[in-house]
Structure 1
Amino acid sequence: MAVYLYALTSSGGVPLYSRTLGDGKPLPYPVVASLNGVHMYGKSGEVELVSADSEQYNIGWRSYPHSITLILVVDKSLYSKHQIDELLDMIYDGMVMLFGQDDLMTIKNVERFKRDIRVSYALLDYILQLHSTNSFSDITQCVDVLASRSTEILQNSLNAFTDAASSLHGCLLINSKVKVATPEWSSLGHREQILLCHMVNSLPQVPAARDVPVYLPKTSPNVAQRLVTFTLLPGAEVCLLCGPTPSLSQLEKEVERFWQPSFDAIKLVQSSVDRNLPKDTLVDSNVLGFVMLSNSSKKCLSCYTSEADEYNHQLGSYYYYIPCYLMAD
């Protein structure tokens, strides 16, 4: 199964970058040129080409104001046409998160942009590989969350730490999913929350403390924020959106003081993260798993029961398609 992503300038069709993931060979340049050419031909006749399909692939096009055209080619077994539309928007917003909207809308030097855009490859590749993880955010457009005990102690630690950092926005990620968050973090756009989580998960695991400038695609597309993250335990990260102060080194000194009392609670959550339910929660033996979606809060809770280990691959494939149709409205 293969995924192909191409970015070109909207005005002249100049290639900006390409990403190929999976076991497929890169598409020949004449094929890519034809895909862009048929899209530009449609635009010249005031017709917008949005999607097409072949025997093996689904294809999606999306042009963004005054700047970039994205082309996504995916194996039909991975994404439907509706999912491709959502994925293209997430990819573009991911680029906005790293570059800011103004810089994307006014590409003044194409060759320089080609060099600069490389910093986004890790995030883009992570998004394109979500189909092979236990995340449903790319098809549901909902934030993946955890259900477990110890919520109160973890929420208290997070609130105290964000207060010390003079921040309103913070969350705790455990095994790439949100365990607790401040109300202000949860009030961000759902795609902003999803992309912030993807950003953290796509960063190198070393060093344990990181300070990355980000733009929020809807809330603050042209003014950068600081995304500050600290690894508390393997697989557990606390994330903050901060202003110019305090510095990373100042915050790093406070991590142990605020989070040491919560380490046992974090380990307890991690012990049940695969099942994604407290160990003492009984589930009928006939239930192999479930996906629970909230349209109002844009949250997604997924679970494979311990009895379903031998069926996890089949369940994963089944669950991966069902949420798309449930969320289509």
Structure 2
Amino acid sequence: MAEHIVCITAAGGIPLLTRTKPGCQPLSFPVVGSLNGVHMFGLNRDVKLISTLSADHRIVWKIYEDSIVLIAVAPNEDKFLGHCAQKSSNSGVELESNARNSSSTVTDAHLLRLLDNIFHALVLLTGLSELTTIQNVDRLKKDLRACHQLVDTFLDPDLPGAQEKGLKLFGGLTHSVDIVIKEDAKLLHEHLQAFVEAADSTYGCLVVNGKVVCATNKWWMLTGQELALLGRLISIAPTSVTSSDVAVYLPHSSPNIPHRLLIFTLVTGVGNNSSGGVRACVLCGPQPSLAHVQNAYVERFWGPGTNTLQKCARSENIPTQLKSSLPSALLGFLLIDADAHRCLSHISPQIGTDTSDHLKRRKQKGDRQKIDSSWIYFRLCEFYKHVVGTSFPLPDSVEDSPLPQDDLSPHAGLAHYRCMTSHKCFALWRPPYQIFALYKPEAPTFALQNLTESTLDAVCKDGALLAL
């Protein structure tokens, strides 16, 4: 979404952190100074500058705790199609690429939500008091280096061509935690519950490839933003490290008192999921020590379930039986449970399975577009940003002031669809669920709502999302 993130002090305009998306030219010091200067100019005249537009970029500012200012710089147009066209792949369904397929989904509401996520990511690893009472700027700069990798996950690291394959997480966008549905989730939950209790805690979760398989009841009581940030932090932990101990400040529950996040790698990622794997995580106090939990409890509680864990690491986000019941024209979906702060996604390129005349005619045209998992992921993100904040309201968050709802009608919609040359989309709001579905272009437009409703009913059958 954003190309540049800048964090500066509100009082003196001293840069604390500057991050740039891979492949983009870093902002020069004069440009950073100008961005701060125009914001300060407005404040001195009782004008609160929120956003502005240049020829090809959108810029937003937001002050946090009267202490720091975060600035986001994002392109006006969605440039993902250009990246897709450059990606070389031997798999995927080829469709025509057309400039009309690209529409700007960059809005003030989503960029301000991005800044909120980044601010709370800084709080998560440094604590709120360090950011609100800045006594030593140089020391704070040094402390914020620990946040670089987490902040970078919000700068579209999954774009094709990135060095490390991403995990395609939606949690930061939806203010919820990414989950998966596994056939052995109940058995794994029993192992997790016993493991967490032995570690003298009530907060724990089991994560596969960056997404939660199961968690304790107390873990689910954290706010949606805390769940999403913890999920991201767990997903970027290197699988080459058997265990790690990270001090975290829960942005809403405990912003000034640190807790310890213990992460244990049970199964390392392989193949396309080399940056993933299976991890058991515990949120606890000063005791017990990391070494004690590693030596006394990991093998004891997880050793008997090794085969189940390995099977879990290899399987997809949803069970095979559920996948077979989904519409054949479905390329992927994003399902959000707003009450439980959970989101489930499924991406299915359906490589080489479609031989319709409609698709063959498109293949004969010169400009072609590969449909692979990354393409579907970014299309779902684009559709979500297009709908939420306009037709659908933004998800609830724990904020001091409400975020702007761009062009949101007083009467929120219950459904929204788009028909493009390369795909079709349909969004359905059935409280507490929101589902965003992506279909092949040959899917009948009149049937999109029924197809989406059947997908929602199939996934939510027997309360699958609440049984984790």
- Interval of TM-score (by shorter of Structure 1 and Structure 2): over 0.9
* Unmatched runs of 5 consecutive residues or more in structure 2: 80-105, 160-165, 269-276, 353-369, 394-468
The residue type equivalent to 2:371 in the other structure is: Y
* Local SS of the residue matching 2:21: strand
Give 2:381's aligned residue. Answer: 320
Q: CA deviation at 1:118?
A: 1.3
Contact 2:60 2:72 survives alignment (8 Å): yes
Distance 1:232 1:21, change over 3 A: same
223-232 or 57-66: which moved more? Answer: 57-66
Q: CA deviation at 1:58?
A: 2.2
Alpha-carbon distance in 2 for matches of 1:49, 1:183 = 42
Alpha-carbon distance in 2 for matches of 1:306, 1:129 = 21
Give 1:74's aligned residue. Answer: 74
Alpha-carbon distance in 2 for matches of 1:82, 1:131 = 22
RMSD: 1.9
Contact 2:172 2:229 survives alignment (8 Å): no
Give 2:175's aligned residue. Answer: 141
Contact 2:58 2:73 survives alignment (8 Å): yes
Distance 1:321 1:308, change over 3 A: farther
1:279 matched to 2:320? The reply is yes
Q: CA deviation at 1:151?
A: 0.8
Give deviations 1:31-53, integer Å, cap 9, x for gaps: 22111111111111222111222
Contact 2:20 2:155 survives alignment (8 Å): no
Give 2:433's aligned residue. Answer: none
Q: 1:214 aligns with which of 207, 228, 248?
A: 248
Give 1:240's aligned residue. Answer: 282
Alpha-carbon distance in 1 for matches of 2:133, 2:120 = 16
Alpha-carbon distance in 2 for matches of 1:55, 1:30 = 19
- Between the aligned residues of both structures, percent identity stands at 36
Q: CA deviation at 1:290?
A: 1.2
Q: 2:120 aligns with which of 76, 86, 93?
A: 93
142-151 or 117-126: which moved more? Answer: 117-126
Contact 1:289 1:308 survives alignment (8 Å): no
* Local SS of the residue matching 2:245: strand
Contact 2:206 2:279 survives alignment (8 Å): yes
The residue type equivalent to 2:74 in the other structure is: V
Contact 1:66 1:106 survives alignment (8 Å): no
Q: 1:128 aligns with which of 135, 155, 164?
A: 155
Give 1:230's aligned residue. Answer: 264
* Local SS of the residue matching 1:8: strand
Give deviations 1:133-189, integer Å, cap 9, x for gaps: 411122211211102210111110110000101101000110001110111001001
1:102 matched to 2:143? The reply is no
Alpha-carbon distance in 1 for matches of 2:254, 2:339 = 23
Distance 1:320 1:49, change over 3 A: same
Alpha-carbon distance in 2 for matches of 1:167, 1:131 = 34
Q: CA deviation at 1:306?
A: 5.4
Q: CA deviation at 1:205?
A: 3.2
The residue type equivalent to 2:197 in the other structure is: D
Contact 1:2 1:22 survives alignment (8 Å): no
1:290 matched to 2:351? The reply is no
The structure whose residues are more often helix, as a share, is: 1
* Local SS of the residue matching 1:156: helix
The residue type equivalent to 2:287 in the other structure is: T
Give 1:184's aligned residue. Answer: 218
Q: 2:303 aligns with which of 251, 260, 270?
A: 260
Contact 1:2 1:24 survives alignment (8 Å): no
1:114 matched to 2:174? The reply is no
Distance 1:17 1:248, change over 3 A: same
Alpha-carbon distance in 1 for matches of 2:376, 2:247 = 38
The residue type equivalent to 1:311 in the other structure is: I
Alpha-carbon distance in 1 for matches of 2:158, 2:107 = 12
Give 1:169's aligned residue. Answer: 203
* Local SS of the residue matching 2:59: strand
The residue type equivalent to 1:242 in the other structure is: C
Alpha-carbon distance in 2 for matches of 1:127, 1:306 = 24
Give 1:61's aligned residue. Answer: 61
Q: TM-score, normalised by structure 1?
A: 0.93
Alpha-carbon distance in 2 for matches of 1:139, 1:248 = 32
Distance 1:293 1:97, change over 3 A: same
The residue type equivalent to 1:319 in the other structure is: L
Distance 1:69 1:130, change over 3 A: same
Contact 2:129 2:256 survives alignment (8 Å): yes
Alpha-carbon distance in 2 for matches of 1:2, 1:67 = 22
Runs of 4+ in 1 over 4 A off after TM superposition: none
